[in-house]
Amino acid sequence: MNLLITMAEIVVNLDLIARLDGKVAVVTGGSDGIGSKVVEQLLCGGARLVVADLNDAKGQSLVEALKESKGIQQQQDIVYKHVDVSDYDSVLALFKYTIDLHGKVDMAIHCAGITEISGWFDPAITMDTISTPPALKVLDVNLRGTFYFTQVALAALGHGRQSDKGAGDKSITLISSIAGFKESPGLFVYSASKHGVMGLMRSLRGYLPSAFNVRLNVICPWATDTPMFSNLRDAWVQENLPLNTPDEVAGIVAQCAADESIHGKAVYVAGGKGFDIEEGIDRLEAQWMGEKQARDLANGQAFLGTGSSWGAKR
């Protein structure tokens, strides 16, 4: 049993995260919650940060507070830039700004997100009350925004890069959720958007190393003590259920962004620990679908390859 836990666990290596001198990181959702702690940890490790968010007041005051508390002298070591991740031009402007400032991007980390907005599947709906569809803003921010971020980040990570650079030095880290792989009652659009983020990672992970020489990982936090979870927080704690600190989740995010050996993982974070979901699903396939089905599936996947010869061009 211990062996299984060890195989899937992603352990934070503080020495690695402390050696980020010269790296440039873009962090969306950086004004608050998990993103703000990612910003702080990467800055402490020596990276230069572009903090991007919709909440300008919080983002600017975070940047000023970190400059003061960490004794940052160079203005460019940490800057704030407004972004609305659901607006393609805004995402493009964020990465253009970063390249103008630093000439490159090494770590693209996408923490911006919003939770469910009620309106879908109300049991009171009738044929008389459904003339207009409820909002899909959550899909726009969480899934459309992740597509925009990933597309522009891939171009930016390649900017000015030496062609002989080895795989692993550039990374994208996205945030899904427990709601990206488990039932999440009441979170209809949120859960669909987070499953979408998982799907995007799974569709890209075989393709990115050869097509872009970039690593990609997804973090799937369970309950985390941020403003997003504030409505449920007290009742949750009363039930003695585990609650991640935003610092703990940020540590796993930073590890996946910095560790050149981590690619294609979906890391569930609960009680402050990170576990790769994908490894277990793959390893146990023969147990839950049978040896022959697992072999056939592996052969089919090998036949399809990275999709670069057919899928992406269709």
Beta strands, E only, 118-164: none
Based on DSSP, count helices (H) and strands (E) in the chain, helices before strands.
14, 9
84 binds ligand NAD (CB under 6 A): yes
Q: Which stretch binds ligand NAD (CB under 6 A): 11-19, 208-216, 221-229, 304-312?
A: 221-229
Beta strands, E only, the chain: 9-10, 24-28, 48-53, 78-82, 107-110, 171-175, 215-221, 266-270, 273-276
Binding residue (CB under 6 A) for ligand NAD from 23, 24, 25, 33: 33
Q: Measuring CA to CA, which residue among 181, 82, 96, 192 is closest to residue 136?
A: 192
Binding residue (CB under 6 A) for ligand NAD from 20, 66, 78, 111: 111
Binding mask 151-190 for ligand NAD (x = CB under 6 A): ------------------------x-xx------------
108 binds ligand NAD (CB under 6 A): no
CB of 220 to ligand NAD, least distance (A): 7
253 binds ligand NAD (CB under 6 A): no
For 293, residues 6+ apart whose C-beta sits below 8 A from its C-beta are: 285
Binding residue (CB under 6 A) for ligand NAD from 227, 242, 305, 311: 227
CB of 314 to ligand NAD, least distance (A): 30
Q: Which is nearer to ligand NAD, 136 or 286 (CB)?
A: 136
SS3 (DSSP) at 267: strand
User: Considering CB under 6 A, how many residues would be counted as binding ligand NAD?
Assistant: 29
Binding residue (CB under 6 A) for ligand NAD from 40, 53, 259, 278: 53
Distance CA 92, CA 252 (A): 27
Q: Report which residue type is found at 269.
A: V
For 131, residues 6+ apart whose C-beta sits below 8 A from its C-beta are: none
Cα distances (angstroms) measured from residue 195 to each of 68, 97, 152, 200, 202: 39, 30, 21, 9, 11
- Contact residues: ligand NAD, CB under 6 A: 28-29, 31-35, 53-55, 83-86, 111-114, 141, 175, 177-178, 221, 223-224, 226-229
